[in-house]
Structure 1
Amino acid sequence: MTQVNSPTPRVALLTYSTKPRGGVVHTLDLAEAMAALGVDVTVWSLARGGDAGFFRDVDPAVTLRLVPFADRDGESITERIVRSIDTLREAFEPDAYDIVHAQDCISANAVGTCIRTIHHLDQFTTPVLVECHAKAVVTPYARICVSRAVAQEVEEGWGLSPTVIPNGVAYQRFADAASDDPGAVEARRRWSDRLGDYVLAVGGIEPRKGSIDLLDAYALLRKRHPELTLVFAGGETLFDYRDYRAEFDRRRAELDVEPIVLGNVPDDDLPSLVAACRVFAFPSVKEGFGLAAMEALAAGRPVVVRELPILREVFADTVTYASTVPELADALEAALTPDCGRAEAGRALASSLTWEDAARRHLEFYARHPMPRDAPTAEDGPVVGSR
């Protein structure tokens, strides 16, 4: 691979999916911000299940390279991840770029030597996935984290020192959805007519998002505020959470509550969905930044989050924190009463985090960390999952 010798290198950003997950949102927004600065940037991704494109339109200034990845019946998660790595590795063209920047475990294992953004650290028990996760931290020649808390986890676990570059936020998109513009008012009204007054969680039903805790908290809250609905949006993921979803459904029946599960919401409709909620709930047990909650702040919504060091770092006093289910229910109830000062502080925080700034900081990082000469490829060392 060639070295960076200009402020506008040829950059490849790699992600594992075309679905609306946090790391994918990050990749596309960062790519578009880089392209706006004149960078030749290409986004590589697996196109799962026959996807012809990403979950949203992408600025044509960004080149897209989507690698077909067909579903296979009966395939385990480990087999699927190993096949994902092999498929992306076979298709990727490293010599076309000055900077190769992987955004996840799959892409980092596929391309070998690269820059890696570690959005958060996962915990696996399957040996192949444990190896995959560790290699994706150790093998890259330089690392970025989106928060100091995640960078500290990397330092404590591996003795490495990533650079912290926070996420940007598409502030105006969500602020406009909360405005008095007639179109924005009408879009919010449509959600309210459909859902009533609602507590919203974005990210689907899965263990990391604390969905069952939120369900339990809502059951307590509903006794005091029977007019409120609980709404879940999103949820596309690589992993199999059927057991967790079965437990969620069992608990739902036991509590006799009926949350509304929207699944994936069209990207153009998401800002108005967020802007129309009474409270935005974010009880995740593991996060790297909390982009969905930051978008809710941009829309001026009160936000309740899990008491986590990472979220304290990112959100400071702009949100309400809760550790237990009763605390979560109490915090959701308290958030129903408008707090104009906190809402204004939340908007100010969200507006201060721009993708342009994130892109500039990435370019400065690239200039300080050019690709090593004669860098090994993924095929030069042991390959995770090789037979």
Structure 2
Amino acid sequence: MRIALTTYSTKPRGGVVHTLALAEALVDAGAEVSVWTLGRGGDRAFFRPVDARVDVRVVEFAAREGEDVGARILRSVDVLREGFDPSGYDVVHAQDCISANAVGRCVRTVHHLDTFTTPELAACHERAIVEPYAHVCVSRAVAEELRAGWGLEPLVVPNGVDAAPFAAAAAGTAGARAARARWRERFGRYVLAVGGIEPRKGSTDLLRAVALLRERLPDVQLVVAGGETLFDHRDYRAGFEALARELGVHPHVLGPVAQDELPSLVAAAGAMGFLSTKEGFGLAAMEALAAGVPLVVRELPVLREVFDGAAAFARDPAGAADALHAALTTAPDTGAAAARRARGAELVARHTWAAAADAHLALYRSLAAAEPVR
């Protein structure tokens, strides 16, 4: 079976991480897979090496000075549409609204639902839900949103997690200990957020939570990794920085972290704060569990579905501060901390990309049997 997976970027965002991991698991299962993407900012390859058996197609997307978000989205769709060649594939599977608008008849994974005020984005989002002929969601919570809002019946296939690098980074080997020590020498004891500074990640709520936490544990730092995005969050970022000054917190904002350095950054954290206001699954949080790092997440249906029993849940910054305090001051092998750690290990073991690939292949075959893709 020949499969085209399409995504909108080469950068390390959750949907892109998902696309590459799924592609590699599909070729392990015997499929022929191409991954199509836009190469932004001169990129000719993805943020990490990709298995040589995966056919990577990067369509050049040149930057334009002064282009607003709406125009950039429309041009992204046009450029990918012009560059994409659908011939020869049994299935075309889009992983985001931009590529779903660009590639024509496709299966679509809806990772999470957004509410956009920019007209171009709102229209792109709607078309990418109603026009695909089959849908996949990575959690039951998002699937239920599609049922309630559009009457769709998506297949639920949870993400896998590439657990091995994170488990290795948390191990007791000399190399792993040294890598963790380098981060701790740089930042001391820290709470980690992965995903950058943006509204959907609940960044200002986590900042407030860390400010409250520092009233009890003044040495704790906030470290923020990641953050590559299509959208313009400069106003939100400016508000975040102003709030940080007001609260007396000085976050360490790293931007995208190299693939081979991220596991040790995660494993060295005292806790991960994951206060997203919208998520489809929470892959970065699952990676924290793979490293045995205590996890504090926002009380959302999707995060309760995925992480119940493995994380502490919080409804607001005060609750998050309390949960982070407990995570940083409780021995990991006692009481509720030990139970969460064990549950986290169980979840990580269950969520494999091989299982995700098998479920996708079963879907593709059923679609091909019902109505072969032209």
TM-score, structure 1 as length reference = 0.93
2:126 is aligned to 134
Measured after TM superposition, the shift of residue 56 of structure 1 is 0.5
1:313 is aligned to 305
Aligned partner of 2:322 among 324, 330, 334 = 330
Higher RCO (C-alpha 8 Å, min separation 6)? 1
Q: Report 1:1-387 matches (<5 A).
A: 9-336=1-328, 337=330, 338=332, 339-370=337-368, 372=371
User: What is the letter of the counterpart of residue 141 of structure 1?
Assistant: Y
C-alpha offsets along residues 138-182 of structure 1, whole Å, 9 cap, x if unaligned?
Answer: 100000000000000011111111010000000112111111121
C-alpha offsets along residues 23-76 of structure 1, whole Å, 9 cap, x if unaligned?
Answer: 000000000111112211000000000012111011101110000001101101
- Rate the CA distance shift 1:310–1:39 in 2: closer, same or farther, 3 A: same
Q: Does the aligned pair in 2 maintain the 1:168–1:357 contact within 8 Å?
A: yes
Q: Does the aligned pair in 2 maintain the 1:299–1:347 contact within 8 Å?
A: no
Please give the secondary structure, in 1, of the residue aligned with 2:356: helix
Measured after TM superposition, the shift of residue 372 of structure 1 is 4.3
Deviating 4+ runs (over 4 angstroms): 371-375
Distance 2:342 2:24 in 1: 28
Gap regions ≥5 residues in structure 2: none
Q: Does the aligned pair in 1 maintain the 2:310–2:339 contact within 8 Å?
A: no
Seq. identity, %: 60
More deviation, 187-196/23-32: 187-196
Measured after TM superposition, the shift of residue 373 of structure 1 is 5.3
Please give the secondary structure, in 1, of the residue aligned with 2:143: helix
Distance 2:152 2:343 in 1: 34
Distance 2:222 2:174 in 1: 26
TM-score, structure 2 as length reference = 0.96
Gap regions ≥5 residues in structure 1: 1-8, 376-387
Number of residues of Structure 1 aligned to a counterpart in Structure 2: 367
Q: Does the aligned pair in 1 maintain the 2:170–2:176 contact within 8 Å?
A: yes
User: What is the letter of the counterpart of residue 49 of structure 1?
Assistant: G
Q: Does the aligned pair in 2 maintain the 1:151–1:162 contact within 8 Å?
A: yes
Distance 2:249 2:116 in 1: 32
- Rate the CA distance shift 1:351–1:374 in 2: closer, same or farther, 3 A: closer
